[in-house]
Amino acid sequence: MAKHRLGGQTVKLENPPCILSRATIVGKKEGQGPLGEYFDVVLEDDLWGEKTWEKAECRMYQEAAKMAITRAGKQPQDINYLFGGDLLNQIITANFAARTLGIPFFGLYGACSTLTESMSLGAMLISAGYADLVLCVTSSHFCTAERQYRFPLEMGTQRPPTAQWTVTGAGAFLLSNDMKPPYITHITTGKVIDYGITDTNNMGAAMAPAAAATIKAHFEDTQQGPDAYDLIVTGDLGWFGRELTIDLLKKEGYDISDRFIDCGCEIYSKDQDVHAGGSGCGCSAVVFGAYILRKMEEGVYKRILLLSTGALLSTTSCQQGESIPGIAHAITIDMDRG
């Protein structure tokens, strides 16, 4: 087995890279939520003066990327690689933003799991010595996702209680080999898991088994339990998916309920009429970037496990009656380099 592998799915990074800087941009509704004060930029209008929702999302992506670079005192040409993606077909947001940014680019699609997918790959590249600076950026936008996956905005439809609200937001993270906490120490790459859920209005149920499986694999591979973490954070399972994940892990003998939050549950308050919570590539990016990393810097949390969770469906697959596969990638963020 390769030197730094632990068990079946986990890597312990030899030279843990740090998260050097970050930036988050969110839409109006997210700004009005309980975490509003933590975000770097809150848009007044989700169109941001652009002609289309897609252009607005692309600009959010670009601006977040530039902001993270500037904050670290770097230039775009200093960045070795850009990893990232979004929810739109052919990841046009990330591709179009990369056209402007001019950084060597790997486009990724992992639905809402793209954030930790990007950070996993970026961190491994740095640890192995193939890069000094890697930028990871993901975004989602309520209006672009809604028209692609669901219904037109002005259509008078009722959303069932398990439906989730796509977060309008972009988050950028600059990883480097500097010695400045927090560090990414472990990576557990998820498998695609499908328990046959077909209801596109119930993504939480489709993704919960993947989240539970990755958390379990991480615990087994690292031979640690929930106690090793101050907080376990999932991307966008929502209220219902969070409950399912707790139950699934209890069956495996792990009780994480006292240290488990979901970004989709945190970003909106319950009176914002979002039903089961937030979702989207932007969801875990902005909550992790703005809120959780801040709390880590303040010393509230020392070691966390972050999982972005993705539902790998397309409009074609669900119209053809296919079930919804889920995936979740985990990374350990630690204030100590280990």
Residues that bind another protein (CB under 8 A): 27-29, 45-47, 51-52, 142-143, 146-147, 151-162, 194-197, 199, 201-202, 205, 209, 239-240, 243-244, 276
The rounded distance, in Å, linking the Cα atoms of 162 and 164 is 6
**Quick one: 84 or 241, whose CB is closer to another protein?**
241
In the bound complex, what is the minimum distance in angstroms from residue 26's beta carbon to another protein? 13
In the bound complex, what is the minimum distance in angstroms from residue 244's beta carbon to another protein? 7
In the bound complex, what is the minimum distance in angstroms from residue 116's beta carbon to another protein? 24
In the bound complex, what is the minimum distance in angstroms from residue 35's beta carbon to another protein? 19
The rounded distance, in Å, linking the Cα atoms of 31 and 28 is 5
- β pairing state of 169-176 and 133-140: antiparallel
- Burial zone of 160 (CB within 10 Å; 0-12 exposed, 13-18 middle, 19+ buried): exposed
The rounded distance, in Å, linking the Cα atoms of 264 and 337 is 29
In the bound complex, what is the minimum distance in angstroms from residue 285's beta carbon to another protein? 20
Q: Is 75 helix (H, G, I), strand (E, B) or coil?
A: coil
CB distance 249 to 216 below 8 Å = yes
In the bound complex, what is the minimum distance in angstroms from residue 147's beta carbon to another protein? 5
**Quick one: 75 or 319, whose CB is closer to another protein?**
319
**Quick one: 81 or 142, whose CB is closer to another protein?**
142
- β pairing state of 278-279 and 165-166: parallel
Residue 51 C-alpha from the chain's centroid: 27
How many CA atoms within 13 Å lie on the side-chain side of 326? 29
CB distance 205 to 324 below 8 Å = no
- Find the helix or strand (DSSP H, E) in which 278 lies: strand 278-279
**Quick one: 279 or 332, whose CB is closer to another protein?**
279
**Quick one: 70 or 272, whose CB is closer to another protein?**
272
In the bound complex, what is the minimum distance in angstroms from residue 154's beta carbon to another protein? 4
**Quick one: 143 or 328, whose CB is closer to another protein?**
143
CB distance 323 to 209 below 8 Å = no
The rounded distance, in Å, linking the Cα atoms of 312 and 19 is 27
**Quick one: 106 or 195, whose CB is closer to another protein?**
195
In the bound complex, what is the minimum distance in angstroms from residue 202's beta carbon to another protein? 7
Which residue has tokens 């498998």?
Answer: 191
**Quick one: 247 or 297, whose CB is closer to another protein?**
247
DSSP H helices in 19-141: 28-31, 53-71, 92-101, 114-127
**Quick one: 3 or 51, whose CB is closer to another protein?**
51
Sequence-separated (6 or more) residues with CB below 8 Å from residue 99: none
CB distance 158 to 103 below 8 Å = no
In the bound complex, what is the minimum distance in angstroms from residue 6's beta carbon to another protein? 26
